[in-house]
């Protein structure tokens, strides 16, 4: 860790990389570029290996902030696109609470829109989001697209093929 910059420690993540693991401890990060998906480990004795998708973060969103409060990360964060993270400390946070809430509302609306409408619309919106989040290669894994849009991998595959022919 060449931590010679006094202010903002940065960290890169490749597509598919686990950025934060539920149960472990560490700092909070701000998602500067790219998209991150958040999953909860299965609550009860369900399929081990399965996870519950609980949200995405991008464009300045904070991830892992709960570790500052409770000591451990509450969920797993994985890079959906290549990402750039920036260390975040609560001391450095100057955003007023009302602004945080406003940002939340917007974020929740975006996430919900990814679960509304038919398969092609959902997937298209996800790609738009990825593009606006500054993800360069714009190549997403089907499993991520499926988890985020609430579709099946097979459906995503077929829809994607249909889309590139039509549009």
Partner DNA sequence: CGACTATTTGACCCTTCTCAAATCGGGTGG
Partner DNA sequence: CCACCCGATTTGAGAAGGGTCAAATAGTCG
Alpha-carbon distance values, 127 to 12, 41, 72, 135 (Å): 21, 26, 32, 10
140 Cα distance to chain centroid: 12
* CB neighbour class for 118 (10 Å; exposed up to 12, middle 13-18, buried from 19): exposed
Name which of residues 110 to 139 contact its own copies (CB under 8 A): 111-113, 115-116
Q: Which stretch binds its own copies (CB under 8 A): 6-14, 64-72, 135-143, 157-165?
A: 64-72
What does the DSSP 8-state code read for residue 117? S
Cβ proximity to its own copies, 92 vs 161, nearer residue: 92
Q: What are phi and psi of 20, to 5 degrees?
A: -145, 135
77 binds, among its own copies, DNA, none (CB under 5 to 8 A by kind): none
Q: Single out the residue of 80, 88, 59, 86 nearest to residue 17, CA to CA.
A: 80
Under the binding rule (CB under 8 A), the answer on residue 154 touching its own copies is no
**Residue placing its CB nearer to its own copies in the complex, 98 or 138:** 98
| Minimum gap (Å) between residue 4 Cβ and its own copies | 26
Residue ranges that bind its own copies, judged by CB under 8 A = 28, 38, 40, 52-55, 62, 65-66, 68-70, 74-75, 90, 93, 95-102, 104-105, 107-109, 111-113, 115-116, 150
């Amino acid at each position: 860790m060449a931590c010679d910059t006094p202010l903002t420690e940065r960290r890169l993540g490749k597509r598919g990389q686990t950025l934060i693991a539920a149960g472990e401890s560490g700092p909070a990060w701000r998602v500067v570029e790219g998209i991150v998906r958040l999953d909860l480990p299965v609550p009860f004795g369900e399929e081990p290996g399965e996870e519950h998708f609980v949200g995405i973060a991008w464009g300045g969103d904070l991830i892992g902030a709960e570790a500052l409060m409770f000591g451990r990360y509450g969920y797993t964060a994985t890079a959906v696109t290549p990402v750039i993270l920036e260390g975040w400390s609560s001391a450095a946070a100057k955003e007023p609470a009302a602004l945080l809430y406003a940002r939340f509302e917007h974020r929740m609306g975006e996430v919900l829109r990814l679960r509304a409408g038919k398969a092609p619309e959902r997937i298209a919106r996800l790609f738009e989001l990825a593009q606006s989040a500054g993800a360069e290669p714009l190549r997403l894994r089907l499993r991520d697209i499926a988890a985020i849009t609430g579709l099946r991998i097979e459906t995503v595959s077929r829809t994607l093929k249909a889309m590139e022919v039509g549009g």
